[in-house]
Structure 1
Protein backbone atom coordinates (compact mmCIF):
# COMPACT_ATOMS: atom_id res chain seq x y z
CA UNK A 1 0.00 0.00 0.00
CA UNK A 2 1.38 3.34 -0.97
CA UNK A 3 1.64 6.03 1.68
CA UNK A 4 1.44 3.72 4.69
CA UNK A 5 4.11 2.38 6.97
CA UNK A 6 4.35 -1.39 6.95
CA UNK A 7 2.58 -1.82 10.32
CA UNK A 8 -0.08 0.81 9.51
CA UNK A 9 -1.05 -1.17 6.40
CA UNK A 10 -1.81 -4.37 8.34
CA UNK A 11 -4.92 -5.56 10.13
CA UNK A 12 -4.23 -8.56 12.33
CA UNK A 13 -6.98 -11.17 12.72
CA UNK A 14 -7.32 -13.65 15.57
CA UNK A 15 -9.29 -16.78 14.77
CA UNK A 16 -11.62 -17.85 17.58
CA UNK A 17 -11.72 -21.50 18.64
CA UNK A 18 -13.87 -23.79 16.53
CA UNK A 19 -13.44 -21.79 13.33
CA UNK A 20 -10.45 -23.41 11.64
CA UNK A 21 -12.66 -24.25 8.63
CA UNK A 22 -13.47 -20.60 7.88
CA UNK A 23 -11.43 -18.55 5.44
CA UNK A 24 -9.50 -15.57 6.76
CA UNK A 25 -11.30 -12.36 5.72
CA UNK A 26 -10.01 -11.57 2.23
CA UNK A 27 -10.37 -9.24 -0.73
CA UNK A 28 -12.27 -10.94 -3.58
CA UNK A 29 -10.34 -9.13 -6.33
CA UNK A 30 -7.19 -6.97 -6.52
CA UNK A 31 -9.38 -3.88 -6.97
CA UNK A 32 -11.82 -4.58 -4.12
CA UNK A 33 -12.17 -1.80 -1.56
CA UNK A 34 -13.63 -4.15 1.02
CA UNK A 35 -12.77 -7.64 2.21
CA UNK A 36 -15.39 -10.28 2.92
CA UNK A 37 -16.45 -11.64 6.28
CA UNK A 38 -18.03 -15.09 6.43
CA UNK A 39 -20.71 -16.41 8.78
CA UNK A 40 -19.39 -18.48 11.69
CA UNK A 41 -22.76 -20.06 12.48
CA UNK A 42 -22.87 -23.60 13.85
CA UNK A 43 -26.35 -24.24 12.47
CA UNK A 44 -28.19 -22.82 9.47
CA UNK A 45 -29.95 -19.55 10.35
CA UNK A 46 -33.16 -18.49 8.61
CA UNK A 47 -33.89 -14.75 8.67
CA UNK A 48 -37.58 -14.17 8.10
CA UNK A 49 -38.68 -10.81 6.63
CA UNK A 50 -38.20 -8.15 9.30
CA UNK A 51 -35.96 -10.36 11.46
CA UNK A 52 -32.51 -9.33 12.60
CA UNK A 53 -29.81 -11.55 14.05
CA UNK A 54 -26.31 -11.09 15.38
CA UNK A 55 -24.04 -13.33 13.27
CA UNK A 56 -20.49 -14.10 14.37
CA UNK A 57 -17.57 -13.85 11.94
CA UNK A 58 -15.36 -16.09 14.10
CA UNK A 59 -12.59 -13.47 14.19
CA UNK A 60 -11.41 -10.50 16.21
CA UNK A 61 -9.07 -7.87 14.79
CA UNK A 62 -6.35 -5.38 15.68
CA UNK A 63 -6.77 -2.25 13.57
CA UNK A 64 -3.91 0.30 13.48
CA UNK A 65 -4.32 3.36 15.74
CA UNK A 66 -6.00 6.23 13.90
CA UNK A 67 -8.14 3.85 11.81
CA UNK A 68 -11.44 2.06 12.12
CA UNK A 69 -12.72 -1.12 10.52
CA UNK A 70 -16.09 -0.35 8.96
CA UNK A 71 -18.43 -3.33 8.60
CA UNK A 72 -20.79 -2.80 5.67
CA UNK A 73 -23.49 -4.72 3.83
CA UNK A 74 -22.60 -6.70 0.72
CA UNK A 75 -24.24 -5.04 -2.27
CA UNK A 76 -25.34 -8.31 -3.87
CA UNK A 77 -27.15 -9.47 -0.72
CA UNK A 78 -28.85 -6.08 -0.43
CA UNK A 79 -29.94 -5.87 -4.08
CA UNK A 80 -30.98 -9.50 -4.55
CA UNK A 81 -32.39 -10.36 -1.12
CA UNK A 82 -32.88 -7.15 0.90
CA UNK A 83 -30.23 -8.20 3.44
CA UNK A 84 -28.53 -5.30 5.20
CA UNK A 85 -26.82 -4.43 8.46
CA UNK A 86 -28.83 -2.68 11.17
CA UNK A 87 -26.05 -0.29 12.22
CA UNK A 88 -24.44 0.32 8.87
CA UNK A 89 -21.62 0.95 8.77
CA UNK A 90 -20.70 -0.76 11.98
CA UNK A 91 -17.42 0.36 13.51
CA UNK A 92 -14.68 -1.79 14.97
CA UNK A 93 -12.52 0.64 16.95
CA UNK A 94 -8.73 0.41 16.92
CA UNK A 95 -8.70 -0.61 20.59
CA UNK A 96 -11.45 -3.28 20.39
CA UNK A 97 -10.22 -6.87 20.55
CA UNK A 98 -13.47 -8.79 20.94
CA UNK A 99 -15.34 -11.06 18.55
CA UNK A 100 -16.61 -9.27 15.45
CA UNK A 101 -20.28 -9.97 14.86
CA UNK A 102 -22.64 -8.51 12.27
CA UNK A 103 -26.26 -7.56 13.02
CA UNK A 104 -28.00 -8.64 9.81
CA UNK A 105 -31.58 -7.65 8.99
CA UNK A 106 -33.89 -9.05 6.33
CA UNK A 107 -35.61 -6.11 4.63
CA UNK A 108 -36.78 -8.38 1.81
CA UNK A 109 -40.06 -10.21 1.34
CA UNK A 110 -38.76 -13.79 1.54
CA UNK A 111 -36.90 -15.90 4.11
CA UNK A 112 -33.11 -15.71 3.76
CA UNK A 113 -30.88 -18.62 4.75
CA UNK A 114 -27.41 -18.11 6.22
CA UNK A 115 -25.06 -21.10 6.19
CA UNK A 116 -21.63 -21.51 7.72
CA UNK A 117 -19.03 -19.85 5.49
CA UNK A 118 -21.50 -17.67 3.57
CA UNK A 119 -20.08 -14.21 2.89
CA UNK A 120 -22.29 -11.89 4.95
CA UNK A 121 -20.56 -8.51 5.13
CA UNK A 122 -17.54 -6.57 3.99
CA UNK A 123 -14.90 -4.72 5.93
CA UNK A 124 -13.23 -1.48 4.93
CA UNK A 125 -10.36 0.09 6.84
CA UNK A 126 -10.77 3.87 6.98
CA UNK A 127 -8.97 6.76 8.69
CA UNK A 128 -10.61 7.76 11.97
CA UNK A 129 -8.63 10.63 13.46
CA UNK A 130 -9.58 11.95 16.86
CA UNK A 131 -10.19 15.68 17.05
CA UNK A 132 -10.25 18.07 19.96
CA UNK A 133 -13.90 18.57 20.93
CA UNK A 134 -14.59 22.18 21.86
CA UNK A 135 -17.77 23.77 23.18
CA UNK A 136 -18.61 27.22 21.78
CA UNK A 137 -21.48 29.66 22.28
CA UNK A 138 -22.11 30.06 18.53
CA UNK A 139 -21.10 28.33 15.32
CA UNK A 140 -19.98 30.05 12.12
CA UNK A 141 -22.65 30.93 9.55
CA UNK A 142 -23.11 28.92 6.34
CA UNK A 143 -25.49 29.25 3.38
CA UNK A 144 -27.31 26.08 4.49
CA UNK A 145 -27.56 27.08 8.13
CA UNK A 146 -29.63 24.67 10.22
CA UNK A 147 -31.54 23.17 7.27
CA UNK A 148 -31.87 19.47 8.04
CA UNK A 149 -33.17 16.39 6.29
CA UNK A 150 -34.26 17.19 2.74
CA UNK A 151 -33.48 20.90 3.03
CA UNK A 152 -31.35 20.92 -0.12
CA UNK A 153 -34.05 19.32 -2.28
CA UNK A 154 -33.93 16.33 -4.58
CA UNK A 155 -32.50 17.98 -7.73
Structure 2
Protein backbone atom coordinates (compact mmCIF):
# COMPACT_ATOMS: atom_id res chain seq x y z
CA UNK A 1 0.00 0.00 0.00
CA UNK A 2 1.24 3.48 -0.89
CA UNK A 3 1.95 5.78 2.07
CA UNK A 4 1.13 9.46 1.63
CA UNK A 5 2.15 12.18 4.08
CA UNK A 6 -0.72 14.30 5.39
CA UNK A 7 -0.76 17.32 7.70
CA UNK A 8 -3.80 18.21 9.80
CA UNK A 9 -3.94 22.01 9.47
CA UNK A 10 -6.92 22.41 11.78
CA UNK A 11 -7.36 20.43 15.02
CA UNK A 12 -10.96 19.52 14.12
CA UNK A 13 -10.22 18.42 10.54
CA UNK A 14 -11.42 14.99 9.52
CA UNK A 15 -8.73 13.21 7.52
CA UNK A 16 -9.78 11.41 4.31
CA UNK A 17 -10.89 7.83 4.87
CA UNK A 18 -12.31 4.91 2.91
CA UNK A 19 -15.92 4.20 3.90
CA UNK A 20 -15.76 0.54 2.86
CA UNK A 21 -13.02 -2.05 2.43
CA UNK A 22 -13.02 -1.87 -1.38
CA UNK A 23 -13.94 1.78 -1.97
CA UNK A 24 -11.98 3.47 -4.75
CA UNK A 25 -12.33 6.93 -3.23
CA UNK A 26 -11.81 8.30 0.25
CA UNK A 27 -14.45 10.58 1.73
CA UNK A 28 -13.33 14.19 2.12
CA UNK A 29 -15.04 16.30 4.78
CA UNK A 30 -15.59 20.03 5.17
CA UNK A 31 -13.57 21.80 7.87
CA UNK A 32 -15.57 24.90 8.76
CA UNK A 33 -15.69 27.46 11.56
CA UNK A 34 -19.30 28.23 10.58
CA UNK A 35 -21.80 26.69 8.13
CA UNK A 36 -21.55 27.78 4.49
CA UNK A 37 -24.62 28.29 2.31
CA UNK A 38 -24.20 27.51 -1.38
CA UNK A 39 -26.87 29.42 -3.29
CA UNK A 40 -28.56 27.86 -6.33
CA UNK A 41 -26.33 28.01 -9.42
CA UNK A 42 -23.44 29.32 -7.31
CA UNK A 43 -20.12 27.94 -6.16
CA UNK A 44 -18.32 27.91 -2.83
CA UNK A 45 -14.73 27.05 -1.95
CA UNK A 46 -14.82 24.68 1.02
CA UNK A 47 -11.69 24.07 3.14
CA UNK A 48 -10.81 20.57 4.35
CA UNK A 49 -8.24 21.37 7.03
CA UNK A 50 -5.51 19.13 5.62
CA UNK A 51 -2.59 19.22 3.17
CA UNK A 52 -0.92 16.35 1.30
CA UNK A 53 2.54 15.43 0.10
CA UNK A 54 1.93 13.19 -2.88
CA UNK A 55 4.79 11.16 -4.34
CA UNK A 56 6.10 12.25 -7.74
CA UNK A 57 4.13 10.39 -10.40
CA UNK A 58 0.82 10.58 -8.50
CA UNK A 59 -2.10 12.97 -8.30
CA UNK A 60 -5.13 13.21 -6.05
CA UNK A 61 -8.43 13.55 -7.88
CA UNK A 62 -11.40 15.17 -6.15
CA UNK A 63 -14.75 13.88 -7.39
CA UNK A 64 -18.41 14.47 -6.53
CA UNK A 65 -20.24 12.18 -4.12
CA UNK A 66 -23.09 10.44 -5.92
CA UNK A 67 -25.56 10.82 -3.05
CA UNK A 68 -25.07 14.60 -2.90
CA UNK A 69 -25.54 14.82 -6.66
CA UNK A 70 -28.69 12.68 -6.64
CA UNK A 71 -30.42 14.15 -3.59
CA UNK A 72 -29.22 17.76 -3.54
CA UNK A 73 -27.81 18.50 -7.02
CA UNK A 74 -24.39 19.26 -5.46
CA UNK A 75 -21.32 18.57 -7.58
CA UNK A 76 -17.80 19.75 -8.37
CA UNK A 77 -17.66 21.99 -11.46
CA UNK A 78 -14.07 20.99 -12.29
CA UNK A 79 -14.44 17.26 -11.86
CA UNK A 80 -12.18 15.54 -11.48
CA UNK A 81 -10.19 18.25 -9.76
CA UNK A 82 -6.46 17.53 -9.76
CA UNK A 83 -4.11 18.03 -6.83
CA UNK A 84 -0.56 17.92 -8.18
CA UNK A 85 2.34 16.19 -6.44
CA UNK A 86 4.16 19.49 -5.90
CA UNK A 87 1.19 21.31 -4.28
CA UNK A 88 1.60 21.76 -0.52
CA UNK A 89 -1.33 24.00 0.38
CA UNK A 90 -4.63 23.15 2.01
CA UNK A 91 -6.86 20.91 -0.07
CA UNK A 92 -10.05 22.81 -0.86
CA UNK A 93 -13.15 21.66 -2.71
CA UNK A 94 -15.14 23.80 -5.15
CA UNK A 95 -18.81 22.89 -4.75
CA UNK A 96 -21.54 23.94 -7.17
CA UNK A 97 -25.24 23.89 -6.41
CA UNK A 98 -27.25 22.92 -9.49
CA UNK A 99 -30.42 22.75 -7.39
CA UNK A 100 -33.23 25.24 -6.81
CA UNK A 101 -32.68 25.64 -3.05
CA UNK A 102 -29.65 26.84 -1.05
CA UNK A 103 -27.47 23.99 0.23
CA UNK A 104 -25.95 24.24 3.70
CA UNK A 105 -22.50 22.75 4.28
CA UNK A 106 -21.76 21.96 7.92
CA UNK A 107 -18.43 21.19 9.57
CA UNK A 108 -17.66 17.50 9.07
CA UNK A 109 -20.01 16.99 6.11
CA UNK A 110 -18.57 14.56 3.58
CA UNK A 111 -18.53 16.76 0.48
CA UNK A 112 -16.32 14.94 -2.04
CA UNK A 113 -14.29 11.83 -2.60
CA UNK A 114 -10.60 11.64 -3.32
CA UNK A 115 -8.91 9.07 -5.54
CA UNK A 116 -5.13 8.72 -5.71
CA UNK A 117 -3.99 7.94 -9.26
CA UNK A 118 -0.72 7.39 -11.09
CA UNK A 119 0.15 9.95 -13.74
CA UNK A 120 2.86 10.10 -16.32
CA UNK A 121 4.32 13.18 -17.93
CA UNK A 122 4.75 12.88 -21.67
CA UNK A 123 6.65 14.55 -24.44
CA UNK A 124 4.83 15.43 -27.65
CA UNK A 125 6.28 14.62 -31.06
CA UNK A 126 4.90 17.00 -33.67
CA UNK A 127 4.16 15.18 -36.94
CA UNK A 128 2.55 16.12 -40.25
CA UNK A 129 -0.26 13.56 -39.87
CA UNK A 130 -1.53 10.80 -37.60
CA UNK A 131 -1.93 7.13 -38.47
CA UNK A 132 -5.34 6.08 -39.81
CA UNK A 133 -7.89 4.13 -37.73
CA UNK A 134 -11.34 2.70 -38.45
CA UNK A 135 -12.86 5.32 -36.15
CA UNK A 136 -10.99 8.21 -37.70
CA UNK A 137 -12.31 11.59 -36.55
CA UNK A 138 -15.66 10.24 -35.31
CA UNK A 139 -16.52 11.55 -31.86
CA UNK A 140 -19.15 13.30 -29.77
CA UNK A 141 -21.78 10.57 -30.08
CA UNK A 142 -21.06 9.48 -33.63
CA UNK A 143 -21.95 5.86 -32.73
CA UNK A 144 -25.45 6.87 -31.56
CA UNK A 145 -27.25 5.89 -28.36
CA UNK A 146 -28.92 2.61 -29.33
CA UNK A 147 -27.41 -0.59 -27.94
CA UNK A 148 -24.71 -2.19 -30.04
CA UNK A 149 -25.83 -5.55 -31.50
TM-score normalised over the length of structure 1: 0.89
Match of 2:8 among 4, 12, 15: 15
Task: Give the alignment's Cα RMSD to 1 decimal.
Answer: 1.2
| 1:78-113 residue CA offsets vs partner (Å, 9 max, x unmatched) | 111110001000001111111111110001222211
Q: Which runs of 5 or more residues in structure 2 are unaligned?
A: none
- In the TM superposition, residue 148 of structure 1 has moved relative to its aligned partner by 2.8
Match of 1:116 among 107, 127, 130: 107
- In the TM superposition, residue 135 of structure 1 has moved relative to its aligned partner by 1.1
Partner of 1:36: 27
- In the TM superposition, residue 147 of structure 1 has moved relative to its aligned partner by 2.1
State how many pairs are aligned: 146
**Runs in 1 of length 4+ with deviation above 3 angstroms?**
none
Partner of 2:130: 139
- Within 5 Å, give how 1:28-107 maps onto structure 2: 28-107=19-98
Q: Which runs of 5 or more residues in structure 1 are unaligned?
A: 2-8
- Contact 2:12/2:31 (<8 A) preserved: no
Question: In 1, Cα distance between the equivalents of 2:7 and 2:32?
Answer: 17
Secondary structure of the 1:77 match is helix
TM-score normalised over the length of structure 2: 0.92
- Contact 2:62/2:114 (<8 A) preserved: yes
Question: In 1, Cα distance between the equivalents of 2:33 and 2:124?
Answer: 44
